[in-house]
Amino acid sequence: MQQRPRADSATDWSTDGKKIVFNGDDFLGFRSDIYTMNPNGSRQKRLTRTSEPDFFPSWQPLPRR
């Protein structure tokens, strides 16, 4: 059974209100990655998987090309 991350206080709503991005850490507190999820907590998706902790996610516009 896969454990879901614990959401910390660093959360941000997408501009359309359909997703939340958050900084989540494992239950031991050894790593911290960035995730997205639906407002009801479903469909959590990990966006980062690095050796260094990731903090304070926020939605930003894509750069213009």
Q: What is the mean pLDDT of residues 41-50?
A: 87
Nearest CA-CA partner of 33 in 60, 6, 55? 55
* 2, pLDDT greater than 60: no
More confident residue, 51 or 8: 51
Q: What is the mean pLDDT of residues 18-35?
A: 80
For the chain, give every domain's residue range. Answer: 6-46
- Which pLDDT value is given to residue 1? 46
Q: What secondary structure letter does DSSP report for 52?
A: S
The beta-strand segments (E) located in the chain are: 6-13, 20-25, 32-37, 45-46
* pTM, entire model: 0.72
